[in-house]
Amino acid sequence: MTLESRIIAEIREKGAITVARYMELVLGDPEGGYYMTKDPLGEGGDFVTSPEISQVFGELCGIWAAEAWSTQQLGHADLVEFGPGRGTLMADALRATKRVGGFHDHVDVQMVEMSPVLRTAQQRSLYGKHPRVSWHNALPESDRPLLVIANEFFDALPIHQYIAGEDGWHERLVTLPKRGDGLVFTQSRETVPILPYLLPVGSIVEACPLAVEIMAGIAKRIAKHGGAALIIDYGYMRLHGVQASGSTLQAVRDHQYHDVLHNPGKADVTAHVDFSALADAARRAGAQAANILSQREFLQRMGGKLRVEQLLRHADTPAISDNIKAGFERLIGQDAMGELFLVLAVTPVGAQAPVF
């Protein structure tokens, strides 16, 4: 039975499902979930992430974590990456921090990854890079300081969507069409008290309770035991406390936008990250959230251009030089990833986040 058939069977048995439930099944179903059955990264996959575009990205993330470790004098700590892809970012981070005195001796690397396919790729990437690497489905409980890197992790967490109607907010649902095959969107008959005000009829707002829960868990441990978290993703900030209006739910297959409800499990389904909600969750958990930067600002402040110049001096051919320059420009370009991606840093209250 295909994943779509199982989704249809669940709807027939229990009724329309939430967008969040749909995302859970599409991405994480053990038999047909997108991340459970394939390696989606690279030019031959469905999309490319920053670590795959330029080694500079992972190197600077690693240096940032090492700087936070050194500044806070953390001693033994856990270096955790959420959603590590192929392990490229961590491999670059470990290479860049190999000469930071005591850092590798004092950190255990932990990879939070649910995909068996990607775990295998990560094990290949990290083989021989560090003596203490372990894999987990969620952040392990510990009283040690915590250093977190999460690049394009939160965008894949399941969201709820709510639509403004004449009588209040209704949750957006996935159901079966009255005629024909496939899946369609609908909305709940009953209203839900999601916001104290109404936007124009038809407006859509989104919420990701799981993202808030995970962020709170990270921040609580950092507040209590020390450390820092670096969150990088495409997303938005609320203006004057007002939630953004409009659906950001999207699917990508073969580097092209794809119908979210078509052929579930065969395309990546994500949504933009509410960085204001993440920062609020961190503060409620007792940690400090720095002002949010664009990816462009973060990489430039971290000395990205200097690192590119170093790499260019050792480039053997013009083609390699062009790839180095084009890759970094893609990361910081205002018309590329530089402004679309945002960066949030979380530290204990009173501790300065490097470059923020």
**Is pLDDT above 80 for 40?**
no
Distance CA 318, CA 324 (A): 10
Q: Among candidates 79, 83, 115, which has minimal Cα distance to 94? A: 79
Burial of 190 (0-12, 13-18, 19+ CB in 10 A): exposed
Distance CA 121, CA 172 (A): 36
Sorting pLDDT into bands at 50, 70 and 90, what band is 319?
very high
**Is pLDDT above 90 for 214?**
yes
Q: What is the amino acid identity at position 98?
A: K
State mean pLDDT over 328-343: 94
Which range, of 79-88, 100-109, 245-254, 303-312, averages the lowest pLDDT? Answer: 245-254
What ranges do the domains of the chain cover? 19-154+208-348
Q: What is the mean pLDDT of the chain?
A: 93
Sheet strand arrangement including 250-253: 256-258, 250-253, 268-270
Distance CA 123, CA 134 (A): 9
**Is pLDDT above 80 for 94?**
yes
Tell me what percent of the residues of the chain surpass a pLDDT of 70.
97
**Is pLDDT above 80 for 117?**
yes
Judge whether 63 and 302 are in contact, CB under 8 Å.
yes
pLDDT confidence of residue 242: 61
pLDDT confidence of residue 42: 59
Q: What is the amino acid identity at position 132?
A: R
Residues with Cβ within 8 Å of 10's Cβ and at least 6 positions away in sequence, in order, are 17, 25
Give me the residue label for tokens 């739910």. 249
* pLDDT tens readout for residues 227-276: 999 999 999 998 656 677 789 999 988 778 899 999 999 989 999 999 99
Kindly report the pTM of this predicted structure.
0.94
* pLDDT tens readout for residues 128-186: 999 999 999 999 999 999 999 999 999 999 999 999 999 999 999 999 998 878 999 99
Max distance between CA atoms of the chain, in angstroms, equals 66
**Is pLDDT above 80 for 45?**
no
The class level of CATH for 19-154+208-348 reads: alpha beta
Query: CA-based angle 22:26:31, to the nearest 5?
Result: 130
pLDDT confidence of residue 52: 93
